Structure 1
Amino acid sequence: MNLKSRIRFGLNKRLCWLGVLLVSSVTPVHAATQEIRALFQPDPAQPNKNVFINKTPNSGYCANYPDQCVENGMFSIQLPIRFDSIRPLNPSDVVAIQVPGNWRQLIVSNPETQETETMEVRISGVGSEFHLSHPATQLTGQSDLLKAHQQLWINRSWVYAPLPCLYSGVGAYGPSSYRFFWKTPMAAYCTKSAAYYIPSMYFDTLDIAYELRTPNPLGMSTGIYTGSITYSVINRGDFDFGPMMQASDGSITLDFVLDVQHTLKVDIPPGGNHVLLEPQGGWQGWLESGRRPTRLYRDQTFNISASSKFTMKLECEHDLGFGDGCAIMNRETGYAGAVDVSVSLPHGLTDSAGRPVRKMPLGRTATAPFQPGIYVDRKPGTLHFEVAEQYTNWLIDNAGDKPYKGNITVIWDSEVH
């Protein structure tokens, strides 16, 4: 009997995306768009690490201060959104910054399989560089530039984050500019109050850091999952720099692309595709004493690497015309007998109910999906082939000194919908 294995894989299709709109205006009628991409590929060196890896190039804060972001598990992007003051700032006027620092859900979907998953995102930091109409020394009358920036605001310079925002250690200044970045543990206003008259000022870009909670990729099919979330950029909206500031864009849309690239590979040892069914201990008992065997069988091992759901089924050269299994046949006489095929899978792979897979019957109808709990890398499984006693007697009685043969194709299929 010949054993063949065939593995089917889904194809990954890449999506194209449009770049961020770069035009700014003091009227918030445009929308800024940014793609955020994350990838899952199983890692044989870390089979328990089943997470997406962010693949969006850092810009802004995390590009300049990568160690800070690695330490805090953050990623950042810089958006071309400008905030302009709508009138001069008088002493005690405030710039109040709020971002969506709480977790928000969105749905990502795979257009090929129609599968959907829920993920979460939150904005974990905000920053920019503001530009003053005049040097800070001129506005405050303080000749020392650092002290001028510190005295320009009632609650010190912008390196010091007002609560509930948190300090990030970032502060870089010029005569009339100041770069800052604050961590945002929640969605709440963080306020700076002017201590002097400022004729005008603007924030030239918007830096945001973000955190993601992605779905378990082991429960997702291979392919591209996409989804979007849109934030308002208006006074008392999701992103807000306070009533004194007018944004150049009215909204921010984050387009998420989760790329799932699973592994499903089965290796059968050399010669393992030729399965010889025999009694336990061989045919000696039959040849020497006429003792009938109670069954014919063979266990064939294979190595499997799997990070995705998959099903198994059989394709048969011969069958008995009833039931779901395959058969072996004497090609001259036409006599045939059923061959029961079952599978045992290694630790880490379970049935659809989460139970270990031990001698699960296979047939021409696909099984319910097997599910990896971890990435299984080249772990041994077993195909069990057996002719039961009823058919063993039938085959022996009708052998006529001719062999029984049949091709059984075992299919491991990752196209699970």
Structure 2
Amino acid sequence: MKFASVVSVFLLTGLPTAHAYDQEISARFRPDSSTPHQNTFLNTTPVSGYCRVYPSECSNAGMFSIRVPVSFDSSSPISANHDDPRQGAMFNVPAGWRTAQVVHSTTGETEVVEVRFIGVGSTYRLHDSVFDLIGVGAGTGFINAHGTRWGTSWQQVPAPCQAFRSAQASAHTFQFFWKTPTPGVCAKRARYAIPRLTYDYLDFGYEMRTPNPMGMSSGRYTGRLVFLVGPGADIDMGDVMIPGDPVLAFNFILTVEHTLKVEIPPGGNRVELAPQEGWQAWVNNGQRPTRLFRDQRFDISASSRFKMALECQTISGNTCAITEVGTGHAVPVDVSVTLPNGMVDAIAQPIIRRPLLRDGSGTALIWPFSYIDRKPGTLHFEVGRESVEAMLDNGGNTYTGNVTVIWDSEV
């Protein structure tokens, strides 16, 4: 018997936007027999920034982080005790879910990816030393000295932001990372004037929701989500801190690598039809069999939709036939299939002795609820009573024919 299983992978990259920093976000679904019920994408984006230093904290928070070379520089000095948060160190990032459409590079099928910022950080840089302040001596300690400049330490995170781990500091720099669990402005007010402030880079922590891969075709899905950066934009650091890049773009690449594999036991491609009790009743007593049949087991692994159909050496209507070579007399063979629990048709009905037909009707769409890993199924072959009578009346000689059962992932 012949089996068709086609799994294709294509690549299509997103087109760049002018004056934008492009960041690739990649994820892959490849079924794993050790975790067959884990039907989710694996984020394959290289980790940088905060989560590279503190991987366990990020894993517990379900967060990934990326460091991008998007810097910010103050366009004017930050005044001491400013009343307007927008005139100082302020952070407002897209902490709510944003959606992007991803498109299959060959079929044009579309799905939706969602992403949100759940953390933001950087290393801020003062262009004067924190020890230049009157009353701040070298023995104060870097973190406490920075806290004097701002009135409170950056480890005391303004709501709605929250702290992660302790920060690192020098006389001119302070490295920080804050959680952003909900949308809102997080701002620090300077206690003393700051002539110039720079953020060396942008660290962001993100959470991603991907579509259900079980209903997706194999291949690459790509899409693009653009965030504007600057005062009043999606990533807003206030009116004073001006970005070096006005756009941060996420280029999503989702790779789906489905499995469709059918294993027939040795010799299983040769099917001999026989009466239920064998041929002895006919040979010894002349008792005619009422039907000829054979059940052939197979093992199937599948992680996505597929279809089944027949191809025939000899056609009989919508099914196949077997033929007596000498006379050319032919009789139809009814072929049906039973698939493992968890596989259903387009209306969620189980596949139990479902007829396999040349036009594929009834088996044009089969879904696994989750990854099926080497579960048993059965092909049922049968010649009915009337056809058996016709075979015996024709002399009861040997009838043969090739029946090709097709499992096809190209749905």
TM-score by length of 1: 0.93
Q: Indicate if the aligned counterparts of 1:314 and 1:411 stay in contact, CA closer than 8 A.
A: yes
Shift in Å, 1:15: 4.1
Match of 1:31 in 2: 20
- The 1:138–1:172 alpha-carbon spacing in structure 2 relative to 1, beyond 3 Å, is same
Classify the secondary structure of the residue corresponding to 2:310: strand
- 1:24 match: none
Aligned to 2:30: 41
* Residue identity matched to 1:98: N
Q: What does 1:218-229 correspond to in 2, within 5 Å?
A: 218-229=214-225
Separation in structure 2 between the aligned mates of residue 18 and residue 138 of structure 1, nearest angstrom = 48
1:184 to 172, 180, 188: 180
1:263 aligned residue (237, 259, 266)? 259
TM-superposed CA distance for 1:152, in Å, is 1.2
The Cα of 1:136 is off from its aligned counterpart by 1.0
1:320-339 per-residue CA deviation (whole Å, 9 max, x = no partner) reads 2xx21000001220100000
| 1:148 counterpart residue number | 145
Query: TM-score normalized by structure 2?
Result: 0.94
Task: Report deviation, 1:8.
Answer: 2.2
**How large is the RMSD of aligned CA atoms in angstroms?**
1.5
Counterpart of 1:151 in 2: which secondary structure? helix
| Contact 2:220-2:255 at 8 Å conserved across structures | yes
The one-letter code of the counterpart of 1:264 is: L
Residue 114 (structure 1) shift: 1.6
- Could you say what secondary structure the match of 2:133 adopts? helix
Of 343, 351, 375, 2:345 maps to 351
Q: Name the CA distance, whole Å, in 2 between partners of 1:170 and 1:258.
A: 35
Aligned positions of 1:81-160 closer than 5 A: 81-93=70-82, 94-139=88-133, 141-143=135-137, 144=140, 145-154=142-151, 156-160=152-156
Q: 1:100 to 1:318 in 2, by over 3 A?
A: same
Q: What amino acid is the match of 1:125?
A: G
Superposed displacement of residue 61, structure 1? 0.9
Query: Structure 1 residues 327 and 140, CA, compared in 2 at 3 Å: closer, same or farther?
Result: farther
For 1:387 and 1:139, the matched residues in 2 are separated by 97
The answer to whether residue 64 in structure 2 is matched with residue 68 in structure 1 is no
Match of 2:397 among 388, 395, 402: 402
Unaligned runs of 5+ in 1: 22-28
The question of whether the paired residues in 2 share the 8 Å contact of 1:319 and 1:325 is answered with yes
2-structure distance, mates of 1:401, 1:391: 11
The secondary structure found in structure 1 opposite 2:121 is strand
Q: In structure 2, which of residues 297, 302, 307 is the aligned counterpart of residue 301 of structure 1?
A: 297
Return the letter of the residue paired with 2:33. P
Q: C-alpha distance in 2, partners of 1:401/1:54?
A: 63
Distance in 1 separating the partners of 2:399 and 2:334: 15
Q: How far 1:157 moved relative to its partner?
A: 1.8
Deviation at 1:41, TM superposition (A): 0.6
1:198 to 194, 199, 202: 194
Matched residue, 1:341: 335
Residue pair 2:124, 2:199 contacting (<8 A) in 1 also:
yes
1:386 equivalent in alignment to 2:375: no
Q: How far does the alpha carbon of each residue in 1:140-196 deviate from its partner, in whole angstroms, 9 at most, with x for none?
A: 541113321111113x22222211011111411010100100111122110110000
- Cα deviation for residue 392 of structure 1 reads 1.4
Shift of 1:77: 0.8
Amino acid at match of 2:409: S
Separation in 2 of the partners of 1:212 and 1:368? 33
Task: Give the Å deviation of 1:17.
Answer: 6.9
Q: Percent identity?
A: 47
**Equivalent pair of 1:117/1:215 in contact (CA under 8 Å):** yes
Is the 8 Å Cα contact of residues 129 and 205 (structure 1) preserved in structure 2? yes
Residue-pair matches, total: 401
- The aligned residue for residue 374 of structure 1 is 370
The CA deviation at 1:288 is 2.2
* CA offsets 1:268-298 (integer angstroms, 9 cap, x no match): 0011000001111111222222222111110
Cα pair 1:140 1:151 within 8 Å, conserved? no
**1:166 counterpart = 2:162:** yes
Q: Is the 8 A contact 1:7 1:266 kept in 2?
A: no
Q: State how far apart, in whole Å, the 1-side matches of 2:384 and 2:304 are.
A: 33
The question of whether the paired residues in 1 share the 8 Å contact of 2:339 and 2:378 is answered with yes
Asked whether the equivalents of residues 51 and 216 of structure 1 are also in contact (C-alpha less than 8 Å), the reply is: yes
- Alignment pair present for 1:330 and 2:327: no
1:10 maps to 7
